Amino acid sequence: YTFYTAELTVGFVPDVLGGNRRQVESLAAQKDAQRFALEATYITLASNVVAAAIQEASVRAQIRATKEIITADEKALQILRDQFKLGFAMRIDVAAQEAALAQVETTLPPLQKQLEQTRDLIRALVGDLPNGPDETFELDALQLPPEVPVSLPSKLIEQRPDVRAAGAQLHAANAQVGVAVAAMLPQFSISGTLGGNADQIPWLFRTGGSFWSVIGGVTQPIFEGGTLLHTKRAASAALKQAAAQYQSTVIAAYQNVADTLHASLSDAEALAANVEAENSAKVTFDLTRRQMETGYVNYLTLLSAETAYQQALLTRVQAQATRYGDTIALFQALGGGWWNRKEVAAR
């Protein structure tokens, strides 16, 4: 005869001691750590793009200043040549001016190369090829923000994505300790079976042929060769490491903000001093050049004034670019404002 048996077995392991919950908690924390690492990458990318744009503007300003100096040197050289023809200047003065002009002209090609390389960097950062569309940046067109988003120290912990990522890693390490502890404790299980027996399929689940059973079980690891104990110790050590890493990240974040604020104040004062020095050097150079044209001063006096103005002009341009760079660094140190994006604010 033919005898049929149909059976369905369902098993369930209740999370009595929280091992599964801690594992899910650890995975969720790891997801948060990756999300904050991604936010940090976005902030770094944006800061690099802005820094490269400021660098391009600075190099353009240096090129423009160098060309102005070359034009002034050419005018001075022409004046000396005219005076040499009339016997009011010596040949050595003409040669010295020619050497000074050639020296300034040698500084122009490196600046032009730096400009093109900076533009290639900007295109690469925004995802374009080196022959992509051009977007020029001028130093005079840049402006500092009217207000700097200075935050309270307590807010810095929430705003810095690297601190949030380190906190999420600490959370994940803490949950892993719970997982290791739960693996050393008893595991509970429940299984149920529902089925039927009959010599004909239509009679499998009719009265007399059906059966069921419910079984509960408890398992306790007794001998695992020390693996569970050492797994717990490793998880505890990883938790201590994550805690130390979190503390180090928080301290480094506060140090970064403090250093950036000090740099902003110091570089602002330096920029003001450089602007004043440039204006003074420009006035001295213009007056000296007019005096040389009328024969009141010699060439060496003009060369000294010209060199001073050249150095003051280039120093001011570099100081202005540094001042803008400090503002970028401050925005980045304070977290970059990633929480203002619409999708993040909604979440």
Write the pLDDT tens digit of every residue in 126-152.
888 877 667 788 888 888 887 776 667
What's the pLDDT at 144? Answer: 82
What's the pLDDT at 273? Answer: 94
What's the pLDDT at 347? Answer: 67
What's the pLDDT at 133? Answer: 61
Single-letter amino acid code for the residue at 129: L
DSSP three-state, residue 8: strand
Closest CA to 142 of 67, 68, 60: 60
What's the pLDDT at 130? Answer: 75
Mean residue pLDDT of the chain comes to 87
Whether pLDDT at 288 is above 70: yes
* Cβ atoms of 272 and 342 closer than 8 Å: no
Residue 108, judged by CB atoms within 10 A of its CB (0-12, 13-18, 19+), counts as middle
Radius of gyration of the chain (CA): 37
How does residue 167 score in pLDDT terms, banded at 50, 70 and 90? very high
Q: What is the mean pLDDT of residues 187-212?
A: 84
What's the pLDDT at 117? Answer: 92
Whether pLDDT at 235 is above 80: yes
Q: How far is it, in rounded angstroms, from Cα 110 to Cα 121?
A: 16
| Intra-chain end-to-end CA distance of the chain, in Å | 65
Q: What is the mean pLDDT of residues 209-228?
A: 87
Q: What is the mean pLDDT of residues 241-270?
A: 93
What's the pLDDT at 26? Answer: 94
What's the pLDDT at 161? Answer: 92
Residue in the block written with tokens 């180090």: 248
What's the pLDDT at 163? Answer: 93
Q: What percent of the chain has pLDDT over 90?
A: 42
DSSP three-state, residue 211: strand
* Residues found in the chain: 347
Beta bridge partners of 99: none
- Long-range contacts from 306-312, C-beta under 8 angstroms, 24+ separation: 306/69, 306/72, 306/73, 306/76, 306/100, 307/100, 308/281, 308/284, 309/69, 309/278, 309/281, 309/282, 309/284, 309/285, 310/65, 310/69, 310/104, 311/281, 312/274, 312/277, 312/278, 312/280, 312/281, 312/282
What's the pLDDT at 66? Answer: 87
pTM here is 0.77
Whether pLDDT at 223 is above 90: no
Whether pLDDT at 234 is above 90: yes
What's the pLDDT at 202? Answer: 79
Q: How far is it, in rounded angstroms, from Cα 230 to Cα 212?
A: 42
Closest CA to 257 of 151, 169, 136, 337: 151
